[in-house]
Structure 1
Amino acid sequence: MNNVLKELFELEPSTLFQRAQEIARTKKKVYCSPNLINSVCTTKPACRHCKWQSFKTVNPNFYGERSLEEVKNCTKKLVKAGVDRVFMPSGWMGYKVPQYYYSYVQSVKENSNMEVYGLFGAIDKESIQNLKKSGMDGYLCGLESPNEEIYKKFRPGGDTLKDRLYTLNTAKELGLKIWSGFLVGFGETEEDDARGLEILKKLDVDSLSILPFTPFVNTDMMKDNPANPFEWARVMAVARNYMVKPDLFSDNTEGFYYEYGILGGSNGFYILPKIKV
């Protein structure tokens, strides 16, 4: 852990939070929301904490490729809800993005002024180039955990942490904005959190998400405890002070986690308009 991070982690919490909130007040609030492309995932075995697996057990309709018309309808609703930025998630389909994804990204750009970010996991350079040609503004790829041992524990299959770092670096080199972060509350240490922040600062990310681990029913990790909200907010506040430039994203725009996100210095928020899928 470098000296700057060491000093931040050692700060008295009220001072740390106050400084983080002062930085957040200088930032514009950014509201983002998903526009789902495909809920199929080829990761085998499935991630042990996957909320999509949970969704699929209670809603069999949450499975499969969305039609272009569904994506267009969702775009209209997001624009009406005042969303600034849309990310277009898919289950991991391997390192090469399916061809139809490009037309979906192009559709959102043609029908809105929102910034568009891809969210497809680790992908190859050609796919990133094609997404950029389709009008994509940036790429969102979380580290999940900067600790490889923890990463493999809850994500035993699919792309690796190394793959994700390659994808972020490649997107940056191609001139796209990059958005990344990690989850807090997986059993990581303070040193793990610090290492994650050092990686993200070196990447010079444009946006940063520090999110709390939340267990979902019908997953392998549903018995695990959720992240302690105070500790989550504390890591957020360290991130906010350590990395002043990026937009810092919290969880939701209301309720329990929203208040802790504000405490930690967030200026970006996920909103989920009630959209039938």
Structure 2
Amino acid sequence: MTIHEMSIDLETYSDVDIKKSGVYKYAESDNFEILLFGVSIDGGPVTVYDLACGDAIPKDIINALVDDTVIKWAFNAVFERVCLSYWLKKNYPDKFKSYGPENDTTGNYLNPVSWRCTMIWTAYMGLPLSLEGVGAVLGLKEQKMKEGKDLIRYFCVPCKPTKTNGGRTRNLPQHAPDKWSTFKSYNERDVVTEMGIKEKLHKFPVPDFIWDEYHLDQQINDRGILVDMQLVKNAIAFDERSKTDISDQMKDMTDLENPNSVVQMKAWLSEQGLEAIKSQYRIPVVGC
């Protein structure tokens, strides 16, 4: 089967907090998994491949993922592209193809040139930057399912071990089959909603130069920046030493056990005939 275009949405698991660490560290984790792979081929019906329960993505789709002539669409496509890069390298190393010069970090990722992001499209049109928000503004028939946030918290991040859950640190499909079924519907709906955005905005295409800028942006992020780690380590060491020296000096000056304690410092200032006054900017000001 010849594939020209795909619309994709993933549901994933990782023990790394994506909000704190970003998608690159998130997908680098040894515990990263793709749970659900929702895809529409050339505008056709959406199929959800339940990888967590043993489904396999067909070979023609795998080939299309690494084929730079096949256009891949997703909302916030950097997530799908980076996640699929690590997943393909792990599961289909013979199929994975990267880009960029040898020994460059871009070699870890799929080429962004064949990816299109519906979030970039909505941003270009001045629309909300969330799938839920843009779906509401455009009045899409198929809106993002509101159950999604709870399902993501349940299946996509580690859970706290309790007596009730038997001390487990992760929720799997078998722990809540009904929720898992809804989660698959949620994954399917996201693809449908993303396709609805494309349909609504098709009369207002993104100029090629914007896509060129997007692809350059992705290359910059894939490459990252060089960091002098010795400088970083020394800066941290100097900071710790400086804090210790200043704390020791403050202890000598005040005889306080902990000069960082606001309560202790205010009491000491009061003994010196000074009063700590709070400014409207919450900056402590010492006054007589």
State the TM-score bracket (shorter-chain normalisation).
under 0.3
Larger Cα-atom Rg: 2
What TM-score do you get using the length of structure 1 for normalisation?
0.23
What TM-score do you get using the length of structure 2 for normalisation?
0.23
Report which of the two has the higher share of helix: 2
